[in-house]
Amino acid sequence: MASIEFQGCSEPLPNTIKVVGMGSSGQDLLAQVAAFPRPDDKLRTEQFEAQGGGNCGNALTAAARLGLSPACVTKIGGDGVGDGIIAEFQRDGVDTQFVLRASGAPSPFTYIIVDREGGTRTCIHTPGEPMAPEEMTSQLAEAVLEGAALVYFDGRLTEAAVVLAAAARERGVPVLVEAERLRPGLEQLLAMADYVVSSAHFPESWTGEQCLGDALLATFSRLPRALWLITTLGSRGSVLLERAESAEPASEVALEDLIAQLLTEAQAGAAEAAQQQAPPVCVSASGVAIHGAGQASSGVPRALRLRRGEAETQRVLAAAAAAAAQAAAANADAGNAAGYAMGSSGGSGAGGVAVAQSASLAATVTASTAARLPAGAVVDTTGAGDAFIGSILYGLATGMPVRRAVQLASVVAACKCTALGPRPGLPRRANLAPSLLA
C-alpha cells in the first residue's frame, strides 16, 4: 500500500457553503460476525463498534468531510448517547444548533449485524421520540434555512419535515428528498422535491412494477417537479434520469432495455480503464486504492415507455398494496398499511395515480458502475448509500454537473466500504483526486 503514488486534494473550498439535512441521527451498534447466525445460535463478534449513525447524520458527515458546512435538524434524547451524537457531529464540523433534545427520552439507536462471509448487514432500529410538526415553528424554519444552498430530507420525521420543506419552497431553497423505503408522509415530501435519490427497491415497492425500468419510469412520472431521479443499485452502480421537455418520437424505447444496454456499456468502459491501468482517484485512510466508475449515457433525451402491457395493471396494483402492507409490518405499524401506499397523502405531485399510463416520458438516461475496489477490500456496506447522498449534496451545492456528481458519489461510497460502520471510512478531501472535487 505504501508504494501507491497519489496526490489528493490539498485545497479547501474557497467559500463556506451551508447545506441543511433533516431526518434520522442516532447511534449505531455494529457487530461484525463471520457468518449470519441461524435461529438460536450463539456466537461471538469479530469486531464491535459504537458510532454515530442515521441516514441524515451519515450523509451530512460525508458532506462535511468533502468541505461543505452542514447543519442538522433532528431530534434525539437527552441522554448520554445523545451527548455522544452531538460530540461526534461537532468533531466533523456539522452544526448541531438545530438538534432538538427530548428530556428523559432515549436517543434512537440501531443494532447492525455485519455478515463478513455473506457481505450483508442486517439492521434492527429502535426509534426515539418523534418530532411533532408544531416543533418546526416558523422562527425555527427561518433560522434553519438562512443562507442554505440546499435542504435534504431522508424521509424520517416526516410530519415536521413537510413543514420545513414547504418553507424551503417558499424561500426558493432547492429540496433533495431521499426515498429509501415506504414511509407515511414520504409522498408529500416527494411532491415538493427538486431532486430525488432512491434506493434500488423503493421504486418497485412504491409503484408495484416488477422490473427496474418500469418502476423508475412510473416513479419519475409521478414526480413532475423533480428535475432528476438517481436510483442506487448497490454493487451494480446507479441509474440517473434527467427530465427533458421533449424527445424525438423515433427515439422511443423501453427504459428497461435502455438501462441494460447502458449498464453493459458502462461496465465495458470500466473494464477498459482497468486494462489501461488508470491511476486511482481515491486512496482510503487505510491505504486502499479506488478507481473511478464507468459511465454511459443516452446522450440525448429519449422517449421512454413501459415494457409491460396495460393488461398487467391489476397485478401491479396488487403488488403495490402488498409492498405497503409489508412495509407497515416491518415498521411495527401493521394497522396503517394504507399510510404507506402510493396516493395515501393526496399530494398534488405524487398522489392519486396508481399505475403509470402508456404515455412516454422524455429523459436523458445515464448508467454508472460502482467504483472499483481491490478484491477483498469491502469490509462493511453500512451507510454506503448515505455516503453517496452526501456526495450528491456536495455536487449540487458547488454547481457540479449531476453526472460528474454521480462519479464522485460512487467513489466516496466505495471508500466508505473499506471500514466498519457508516463513518470511519468516509474520505476527506485529501483522500480524493482534485479532479473529482472540481
| Contact predicate 300/376, CB 8 Å | no
Per the prediction, the chain carries an average pLDDT of 93
Indicate the burial class of 314 (C-beta count within 10 angstroms; 0-12, 13-18, 19 or more).
exposed
Per-residue pLDDT, 349: 42
| Dist. CA 118–CA 317, nearest whole Å | 34
Per-residue pLDDT, 347: 45
For the stretch 124-168, pLDDT in tens is: 999 899 999 999 999 999 999 999 999 999 999 999 999 999 999
Mean pLDDT of all residues in 246-261: 89
Grid coordinates standing for 114?
A: 455485519
pTM: 0.93
Mean pLDDT of all residues in 309-313: 88
Per-residue pLDDT, 120: 87
Per-residue pLDDT, 246: 82
Mean pLDDT of all residues in 319-346: 87
426 closest CA partner among 403, 393, 402, 398: 393
**What residue has cell string 439507536?**
109
Kindly tell me if the per-residue pLDDT of 2 is higher than 80.
Answer: no
Q: What share of the chain is helix, strand, coil (3-state, %, to 5)?
A: 35, 20, 40
Residue 143: alpha-carbon gap to chain centroid? 25
Kindly tell me if the per-residue pLDDT of 354 is higher than 60.
Answer: no
Which residues, in sequence order, are bridge partners of residue 304?
253, 361
